[in-house]
Amino acid sequence: MKKLFNVLLIVTGIALAIQFFGCGSVDFETAKLYIKQGKYNEALPYLEKEVNKNPNNYEAWYWLGETKGMLKDYVGMNEAFNRSLKISDKMAEDIRRTRYQYWANHINNAIPYIKEDNPNLKDYRKALDEYRMAVMAWPDTGLTYRYMAFAYMGLDNLDSAIINCKKAWDLGKDTLLLSFYGRYLIDRGNRAKQKFETENAEKIRVQKGINEITKGTPRREVVDAIGTPDTRKKNAKDPKKEDWIYGKYGLTLTMETDKVVDKKITRVVDLGIDSTYYKKALQDFNEAVVAFETIRSLMPKDNENLVLLVQAYVGANRIKEATESFRQAVENEPNNKVNHYILAVLYRSIENYDSAIEEFKKALDIDPEYADAIYDIGATYYNWGVKLRKEATEKGLESDEYKKKFQEALPWLEKVTEFKSKDPQIWYTLGTIYTILGQKDKAAKSFDMAESLQKQQ
């Protein structure tokens, strides 16, 4: 009697289960009974049997996904959900709800670990663990990759931050994320460039010195740039001249009256500068240009983006393009003195001195006490004069045109001493200009002031 009673209970339980879930195969109904009881491990093999026997049972695929989700197998969950959706969209809303629930749970679990006042590396790693689970639960959500990017930045893992920002942009087309992507690329580019410069510092210094030595370069500047020669010998054709031979650089300089009068490259020498990190930097800067140009196409009047675009162009050594781009920023905000100043610096970088001075003066029209603009007008005239003097010397021409530029620089740099009186470099520059213009007393006083200030530092 007791056995019969137990059998009746089992039959009744199965009947109730069938009534609750609807009719189906024995495997499917058994699985659903276990699911109702919260026994997901026990339900799993029955669901797998069911979908193997009846691969078009979209409901069985759905419950297989639900079961795997409860067991935290999100990859398996989504595979099952996708099979269900491929057969029918009847469970689509339930699937969306389930994915969102697991995703939101893990996103919320990460919140306590991301705090600005507690930059703990362990916490960032814990947050990333939650974000990774969220990605598995709902793979196509750009917001998760945004959070992951920020967490990776907390760990100073730029490479992973960049990857996740790019994924976030690809999925959500969020310009904020594209901006962060560009910023991170600039940051990584700057780090690579700095590493290149640090590892090759001496070689770069020498290469720059060799390149910049021209006819007319003073003896002192030659020694400062590339050191003393390996050999010195009187020039066979002219005893007033002396050849400075730098064998290790494949360079011969002919000196006369303490300046270079001829320069010969006797052989091409590889100084062994490793450009690996430089190339990586250029790649990052160029990719950042693409990002910020994309944003500009969407938001042409966003000046913050334009400033970042210019940084990317400058990093990529594309100064002319940077200048063209930043004109838009000036047009957007014509009363912004900083924009005029930045555009002026860019013009000066491409040796468009007239336009540079014009923009500096526009900045001063907005703020007559703008110290940086005052200094840079003087510096621009000075650079212009240096360029004209160098060109004349290289061509062997006698010209005083360069002196006019030094003369124009003078009042601006003299004004700078009113607010930068303790800067020795200003006094050195003034001393140089006074010397070129033949004002010996003022030159002596300026150099004395510069040396005095230098000793105080």
SS3 per-residue string spanning the chain: CHHHHHHHHHHHHHHHHHHHHCCCCHHHHHHHHHHHCCCHHHHHHHHHHHHHHCCCCHHHHHHHHHHHHHCCCHHHHHHHHHHHHHHCCCCHHHHHHHHHHHHHHHHHHHHHHCCCCCCCHHHHHHHHHHHHHHHHHCCCCHHHHHHHHHHHHHCCCHHHHHHHHHHHHHHHCCHHHHHHHHHHHHHHHHHHHHHHHHHCHHHHHHHHHHHHCCCCCEHHHHHHHHCCCCEEEECCCCCCCEEEEEHHHCEEEEEECCEEEEEEECCCCCCCCCCHHHHHHHHHHHHHHHHHHHHHHHCCCCHHHHHHHHHHHHHCCCHHHHHHHHHHHHHHCCCCHHHHHHHHHHHHHCCCHHHHHHHHHHHHHHCCCCHHHHHHHHHHHHHHHHHHHHHHHHHCCCCCHHHHHHHHHHHHHHHHCCCCCCCHHHHHHHHHHHHHCCCHHHHHHHHHHHHHHHHHC
What the block records as the tokens of 436 is 């070129």
State in words which class domain 201-265 has. Answer: alpha beta
Cβ contact 380:357 at 8 Å: yes
Q: What does the pLDDT read at residue 24?
A: 60
Q: What does the pLDDT read at residue 116?
A: 63
Handedness of CA 53, 55, 60, 64 (dihedral sign): positive
Closest by CA to 26, choosing from 7, 50, 62, 60, is 50
The CB density around residue 63, as the number of other CB atoms within 10 Å, is 24
Cβ contact 185:287 at 8 Å: yes
Handedness of CA 267, 271, 277, 281 (dihedral sign): negative
Residue 49 CA neighbour count, 13 Å, CB half: 14
- Distance (Å, rounded) from C-alpha 341 to C-alpha 317? 19
- Distance (Å, rounded) from C-alpha 259 to C-alpha 279? 36
AA letter at 76:
G
- Distance (Å, rounded) from C-alpha 345 to C-alpha 375? 12
- 53: Cβ–Cβ under 8 A, 6 or more apart, which residues? 25, 27
Q: What does the pLDDT read at residue 337?
A: 94
End-to-end, the C-alpha distance of the chain in Å comes to 106
CA 156-159-161 angle, 5° bins: 65
Q: Cα dist. 285→108, 194, 299, 310, 426 in Å?
A: 35, 13, 20, 10, 33
- Distance (Å, rounded) from C-alpha 395 to C-alpha 128? 64
Q: With respect to CATH, is domain 2-90 assigned 1.25.40.10? A: yes
Q: What does the pLDDT read at residue 19?
A: 40
Q: What does the pLDDT read at residue 215?
A: 85
Displacement of CA 330 from its chain's centroid (Å):
23
Closest by CA to 325, choosing from 335, 342, 259, 104, is 342
- Distance (Å, rounded) from C-alpha 311 to C-alpha 292? 10
Q: What does the pLDDT read at residue 114?
A: 81
Closest by CA to 281, choosing from 305, 312, 304, is 312
Q: Where in the chain is the domain with CATH 3.30.1450.10?
A: 201-265
Cβ contact 429:450 at 8 Å: no
- Distance (Å, rounded) from C-alpha 96 to C-alpha 104? 12
Q: At what angle do helices 58-70 and 74-87 cross, to 10 degrees?
A: 160
Sheet holding 259-265, edge to edge: 231-234, 242-246, 251-256, 259-265
What the block records as the tokens of 90 is 């009847």
What the block records as the tokens of 432 is 């140089």
User: Can you give the pLDDT of all 457 residues of the chain as single tens digits?
Assistant: 444 334 333 434 444 443 444 446 899 999 999 999 999 999 999 999 999 999 999 999 999 999 999 999 999 999 999 999 999 999 999 999 999 999 999 999 999 888 766 567 888 999 999 999 999 999 888 999 999 999 998 898 999 999 999 999 999 898 998 999 999 999 999 999 999 999 999 999 999 999 989 888 889 889 999 999 999 998 778 888 999 999 999 999 999 988 898 999 999 899 999 999 999 999 999 999 999 999 999 998 888 999 899 999 999 999 999 999 899 889 989 999 999 999 999 999 999 999 999 999 999 999 999 999 999 999 999 999 999 988 887 777 778 889 999 999 999 999 999 988 899 899 999 999 999 899 999 999 999 998 888 888 7
Q: Where in the chain is the domain with CATH 1.25.40.10?
A: 2-90
